[in-house]
A and B are shown apart, each in its own frame.
Chain A
Amino acid sequence: MAGRDLEAQTAVAEPEVHQESLLEKGGYHRPGIIERAPVLAPGHTAGSVTDKISSVVLSGTPRWFYPAFGLAFTLTMVLFASLAKLFWEGTGIWGVNQPIGWGFAIINFVWWIGIGHAGTLISAILLLLRQEWRTSINRFAEAMTIFAVACAGIYPLIHTGRPWLAYWLMPYPNTMGLWPQFRSPLIWDVFAVSTYATVSLLFWFVGMIPDLATLRDRATKRVAKVLYGMAAMGWRNSAKHWHEHEVASLLLAGLATPLVLSVHSVVSFDFAVGIVPGWHATIFPPYFVAGAIYAGFAMVLTCTIPLRRAFGLYDFITERHLDNMGKVMLATGLIVAYGYGIEAFTAWYSANHYETFMMWNRFFGPYRFHYYALLLCNIVAPQALWWKSVRVSPVKLWIVCMFINFGMWLERFVIVVVSLSRDFVPSSWGTYHGTIWDWATFLGTIGLFLSLLFLFVRFMPMISIFEMRTLATEAQLKELPEDDGA
């Protein structure tokens, strides 16, 4: 990945910081070798790691939890209320119309699916690439994937005019003697998203089993013991268990790895297969995948930074993590920017006047401010990530992430709505505005996401205990000879 080079440049730009930190640690300066911040703060043992992480779950509910969860839960109820209204009255409560048949529902679907991608990338690809730093954020990011996919999965279902018949998109033997229409990208979506959800869920759960056993063993209350016990599926910490767990994880990682690339490629086909100017582009699959990872990392950071502070997890989620994730965002952000550039270039180079007009319309049409905001959020704002001071500063990084979250939503808005609003026949052009129900549904899924997330951090080990134990042990082993030398 390009990250390494970028990192090198960054390091050269600000060498003093490194020297100081190394001196403080009592290390020494070796010219040409770049020392990294640790992935686990020094001094942790397997026991301290386990204590720290399991205490988050087992030591009662912090006070801030109630208002925070209450707010999220209220928003979830808003989701259910909007869905009830939707099912009762029909898609007409949204802003969709002719020609803009897709609106918030599809925008949000793509946005949420994109957000999920970071989790899979971290847990699968980075696992296979043996990137140790992923360990502490992996579990959390995986959980985020599951919740984001859950939110995303609601939308394709409810956006149909007759959601009670949406199961017709599934291939199942039926009395109508009809299969779905396999040429339609929406069918590919069904397969891609359901596979993705299944694999992610399995991966997440399988990865959690040893930790659930730890919680079972450490729990003091009867209910917790029973529930964690059931969830731990009889984990007894035997070598055979560990072996099979390792194999299963690797296999699932192997399965999940292509999904990182395929799911958003398939989602992008929803557009790329269409003939609408602004949709019909071969750049879409890689550009969507990069965008998904970009958005996903932004969302991981958006959630991690406050939680890190709330639970005091500075030792596990270190500056190194923030720094690395910032770099990933910078890299994927640049790919996304390249995608925008290529879209514009192709529009010009094709000499197809529908395509040319599409770009003109983005820059100067009625939705130009959306497009400008998109460029600001997705291209300009992340340039701050070139500076390490931004990457390691939780507040600054969080602000950049919010820009990206917003920008990626706008990107989908521009692709879906702006393209549809002015396509081929000028007499049929139109405009689109989200109605209050569009917003309520969107906020509702954010509420659902946050609710699930709060429940997760409260009741599940949000950082992989057993993997952190490994890290701690390895760190101790590494530290020993150095200690000797000193």
Chain B
Amino acid sequence: MSASEEENGPGDDVKDPVLDDQAPRAASCAGGACGCGGAGAREDAAPALWRNLDELQQSAAFQQAVENEFPRQAVPLGLGVDRRRFMQLMGASLALGGAAACTKQPPEEIVPYVKQPEEIVPGNPLFFATAAPMGGGYALGVLATSHMGRPTKIEGNPEHPASLGSTDVFAQASVLGLYDPDRSKTIVNAGRIRTWEAFVDALTMELATQEGSGGAGLRILSGAVTSPSLAAQMTAILARFPLARWYQWESASDRSAVLGSRAAFGRDVSVRYDLAKAQVVVALDCDLLGKGPGAVRYSRDFARGRRVWESAPEGTAPGTMNRLYAVECTPSPTSTLADHRLALKPAEVGAFAAALAAALGVPGAAAPAGWNHPEAARLLPVLAKDLLAHRGSSVVAAGDESAPELHVLAHAINAHLGNHGTTVLLGEPIAARPTDPLADLEALVAELQAGKVEALLMLDVNPVYDAPPELKVADALLSPAARLRVHWGLYDDETARYCHWHVNAAHYLETWGDARAYDGTVTLQQPLIDPLYGGRSAHEVLAVLENRPGTGAREVVQGLWQPRLGGEPQWRKAVHDGFVGGSAAPAAGAGVNGGAVAAAARTITEALAQQQGYTLAFRPDPSAWDGRYANNAWLQELPRPFSKVVWDNPVLVSPRTARELKIDDGTSDGLQGRRAAVLRIEVDGASIEAPAWVLPAQADGVLTLTLGYGRTRTGKVGKGVGVDVNKLRTRAGFWSRAGAAARATGDRYELASTQGHFLVTDPAGVERPMVRRATLAEYQRQPELMHEAVEAPAHDMTLYPDWPYEGHKWGMAINLSACTGCNACVVACVAENNISVVGKDQVFRGREMHWLRIDQYYAGDYDAPSAVLNQPVPCMHCENAPCEVVCPVEATTHSFEGLNEMTYNRCVGTRYCGNNCPYKVRRFNFYKFADWTTESLKLQRNPNVSVRFRGVMEKCSYCVQRINAARINSEREDRKITDGEVRPACAQACPTEAIVFGDINDAEARVTAWKKQPLSYGMLEDLNTRPRTTYMGRLANPHPELEEKA
């Protein structure tokens, strides 16, 4: 995989014939008005008669006032169309719609390349290193696959420290975001489509006014920024407008971490962990492995410490395993791997941290008086002992959604244990300007209300939707003084509606940029395609403010980095690599302020006292995040961890709380979907109604609400999906809010979930050995333990002779001790294999199309499960495949390399194979699920995988197209396929390296080594299917003093 040396990517010099008509940007305005000065409003000649000076001069402000039908109010951006106009439009649409349908496609000339561009070989994809933006403005280094100029798939950048070749769900799904037909496609002013030049003129005119006052009326609101180029532009803008202000707003922000580090260290410090060295990890309300800019890397490092059969990470003894303690209010992917897990209310998690700090002897720490929790009391001394035994090799991490005090305590504990510098690395801040986004937004709102803001530029933020309602952002935006409000974003969203101008943004795959990774590494973003809808980058918009209109994003980014890196070759190398080597944040020495610890402990004790009613816990959604991915159908259809609900954000409640609220879980004996009880949640006058999902691992008395739903203005995918929970957020109750009341309304709401709540244990008390598990100690005592539960049939229990695999014999092994259930593999599979989205209704009917699913089982008590087990289930490619014998038309057959293959063209759709598959991994196209009509989505498809038609069965193919590509490459180079050369999309995406694929005939292959381990077992191997996908039994490493089967 080598990225092109061409630093400007294919987008700039390679024209895809499909895209050519869209590629050239509208350089001139329509109707020959170009060159006359842009804005259509000024096309008219000056009036002969006039009433005032403004009118004579035709100033922009005057024009705006004239156009504004309802002065002093929201600009009616096409809000209402009167009846007459409606009839005209509808009539015209009908007539023209019919006419268009009769029109033949215009004959297109297809011209072959006169000069074949270097590197482009039709059919061979190219890979370009770029940066996928994540929440909080961070970047994940990725490689984008480009097929003939179309980005089709995102992979991790193996060289990039935050990725090491893996990705998270959002990066995987971002390629669909590029082709989203609902993206904002034009620049809009007051409901009318305008040109970029018109926008530049309008902005320049306002800036000219602002320049006089030093920018006293100019405000910029952006998301959190780590991008050095953007920061440099901001600096330049603030130099030009000294009185202007730059605010940052992020709904799902790391605010608590910022405040915590300020309190603990007295300054801004970035924190990252080296989990490869950590023997004991304590996650305090922290989804260390599932969320945040470092999650991908953390997962990788943490999982190394779980693979006891492979060579141990440096600094650890062979055969040892790290240990994870999770204390949290709502289950997270991280805690599914926890060896000890404790579900507590958010305030109690604080109390636990304080008690832990006190038990460890952290100076200034005091256990909260009067807090008594039997399970915590049992766990605390053991945990303290364990931590003290691992000074310098432990990590205590507090989550972004916890209180700042928890961060203070975590810092103090880490400092006390000597973890700073070894497993916990403190560095200079990574954000361009670390802020408390809530304070920023409050300040902006106050200024808006005070009429101090005249021009407001909002860069990809949506505060109208996602800010706490008490800030009254929408009202403030309508402040009459704010005469120019500009919104730049990918979607014409709720906030855009309150702005005069909306500028459509370019997707990250369409433009240049940069951002820092979790460790500060500067990650460069290069375009793979010309903006599909002529979107602009933030750099271009800010360049206007810098008084450098017309400066492109590339000039900005290259202009910053080329001199810094020392020349064009270095710049080219950095673009090629996707990041600037050695640009990680320098280490920062910082001592923890003892007074802060005492203060934190006090605050925690106070918070503990105010625990009446239910506590609301807000979380970024695993699919929609803060709402920015709400229109991504892949993410919407991704079964959320734990509930496996799709297309909704139910309130998560524990079984005990559900009984208290007198609601059931809405299942009628195992329906796939549920008729969930609707809860009315009230707190201080604000209320929402949302369906409840009873989640066993949830803390009692805590209602978890996820952000990002109930969008009123986004694309057709995300609009109206779920419930907007921002209505219940306040400044004080930003992440958790106590004192809520909840009651069942008596209504029912249908939730579609891909998995029912079924127990692994039969009524007869027999546990179905889907997930086989043991503790490390048990396993070391008795390595064959995993095979005791199930009798695998003898190898010769078949009438047919074994197939002699002379060449390759593909196989897969999945490490259940590492899988967090993060879903990255699932969405990677969707992207790679052109898997259709079917929508909520079809999922409710049990017709989801995912080839790979992650089964989740609970172990132990329903009210307090001892463990949550994840099991990714792709096709097992059984040697004795039950599906193959029953297909009447030989549509599913065994390949000579052991794959169970589907021949879509041959399938007539009897579904017998699906019935006979004991793993239920086959998926049927009950309808024409694939979108054959939306043009932009066609560009996304992987050209090497068929788009399936209605009525055929499909299933995991082990990404056979990748095997074939590797085969062709190896044959051309006259060599064998090397181990690791073929990686299915799931294995490639997996952050924990839980999925290993390779040739079982190759004795040296990693997969062979895994399969030889006594931990390796086949799911349902007692059926004599001889699955080719095997699992590494799940190991847990509970503390010997708390020994229980985790």
Among candidates A276, A353, A422, residue contacting B764 with C-beta atoms closer than 8 Å = A353
What's the least CB distance linking B646 to chain A, in Å?
A: 14
Task: Give B residues with C-beta under 8 Å from A.
Answer: 668-672, 755-756, 758-760, 762-764, 766, 768, 770, 842, 845-848, 853, 855-857, 871, 873, 882, 885-890, 906-912, 914-916, 918-920, 922-928, 949-953, 1019-1020, 1023
What's the least CB distance linking B249 to chain A, in Å?
A: 40
A430 touches B672 (CB 8 A): yes
B922 touches A353 (CB 8 A): no
B885 touches A98 (CB 8 A): no
A211 to B601: give the CA distance in the assembly, Å. Answer: 103
A364 to B762: give the CA distance in the assembly, Å. Answer: 12
B906 touches A424 (CB 8 A): no
B926 touches A92 (CB 8 A): yes
What's the least CB distance linking B637 to chain A, in Å?
A: 15
Of the A-B pairs whose beta carbons lie under 8 Å apart in the complex, a sample of 23, sorted by A's number, is A91-B924, A101-B915, A102-B911, A159-B910, A161-B909, A161-B924, A165-B908, A178-B889, A180-B890, A181-B888, A274-B882, A353-B766, A357-B763, A357-B766, A421-B670, A425-B1020, A426-B759, A426-B760, A426-B770, A428-B755, A428-B855, A429-B670, A431-B846
Q: Contacts A99-B846, A161-B925 given; indicate if A425 touches B919 (C-beta within 8 A).
A: yes
A178-200 with Cβ < 8 A to chain B = 178-181, 183-187, 190
A276 touches B906 (CB 8 A): no
Among candidates B671, B768, B909, residue contacting A160 with C-beta atoms closer than 8 Å = B909
A183 to B800: give the CA distance in the assembly, Å. Answer: 13
Chain B: CB-nearest residue to A97: B846
B888 touches A169 (CB 8 A): yes
A430 to B671: give the CA distance in the assembly, Å. Answer: 6
B842 touches A92 (CB 8 A): yes
What's the least CB distance linking B563 to chain A, in Å?
A: 56
Chain B: CB-nearest residue to A103: B911
A90 touches B766 (CB 8 A): no
SS class, residues of chain A in contact with chain B: loop
Tell me if A395 is interfacial: C-beta within 8 Å of chain B: no
A190 to B952: give the CA distance in the assembly, Å. Answer: 20
Tell me if A423 is interfacial: C-beta within 8 Å of chain B: yes
A364 to B918: give the CA distance in the assembly, Å. Answer: 22
Q: How large is the interface on A (under 10, 10 to 19, 20 to 34, 35 or more residues)?
A: 35 or more
Q: Contacts A90-B950, A161-B950, A180-B888 given; indicate if A357 touches B764 (C-beta within 8 A).
A: yes
Residues of B within 8 A of A190 (CB): 888
Among candidates B888, B889, B926, B1020, residue contacting A424 with C-beta atoms closer than 8 Å = B1020
B889 touches A91 (CB 8 A): no
Task: Give A residues with C-beta under 8 Å from B.
Answer: 89-92, 95-102, 159-163, 165-166, 168-169, 176, 178-181, 183-187, 190, 270, 273-276, 353, 356-357, 360, 364-366, 420-431
Of listed A423, A426, A429, residue having the most chain B CB within 10 A = A426
A209 to B887: give the CA distance in the assembly, Å. Answer: 42
Q: Contacts A90-B950, A275-B916, A357-B762 given; indicate if A162 touches B889 (C-beta within 8 A).
A: no
A162 to B758: give the CA distance in the assembly, Å. Answer: 34
What's the least CB distance linking A180 to chain B, in Å?
A: 6
What's the least CB distance linking B488 to chain A, in Å?
A: 41
* Supplied contacts A97-B845, A181-B888, A186-B888, 10 more A-B pairs, CB within 8 Å: A92-B927, A98-B846, A98-B922, A98-B923, A101-B912, A168-B888, A424-B919, A428-B755, A428-B919, A428-B920
A41 to B919: give the CA distance in the assembly, Å. Answer: 62
Q: Contacts A97-B847, A180-B889, A426-B759 given; indicate if A160 touches B915 (C-beta within 8 A).
A: no
B951 touches A162 (CB 8 A): yes
Q: Contacts A89-B927, A426-B758 given; indicate if A431 touches B916 (C-beta within 8 A).
A: no
What's the least CB distance linking A288 to chain B, in Å?
A: 17
Residues of B within 8 A of A179 (CB): 890
A425 touches B855 (CB 8 A): yes
A424 to B928: give the CA distance in the assembly, Å. Answer: 29
Of listed B671, B759, B922, B926, residue having the most chain A CB within 10 A = B926
A12 to B763: give the CA distance in the assembly, Å. Answer: 48
Among candidates A91, A99, A186, residue contacting B912 with C-beta atoms closer than 8 Å = A186
A422 to B670: give the CA distance in the assembly, Å. Answer: 9
A332 to B708: give the CA distance in the assembly, Å. Answer: 62
A90 to B925: give the CA distance in the assembly, Å. Answer: 9
A92 touches B847 (CB 8 A): yes
Residues of A within 8 A of B906 (CB): 168, 176, 178
B915 touches A360 (CB 8 A): no
Residues of A within 8 A of B924 (CB): 91, 98, 101, 161
B764 touches A360 (CB 8 A): yes
A360 to B765: give the CA distance in the assembly, Å. Answer: 12
Q: Contacts A96-B926, A364-B763 given; indicate if A429 touches B758 (C-beta within 8 A).
A: yes
What's the least CB distance linking A374 to chain B, in Å?
A: 17
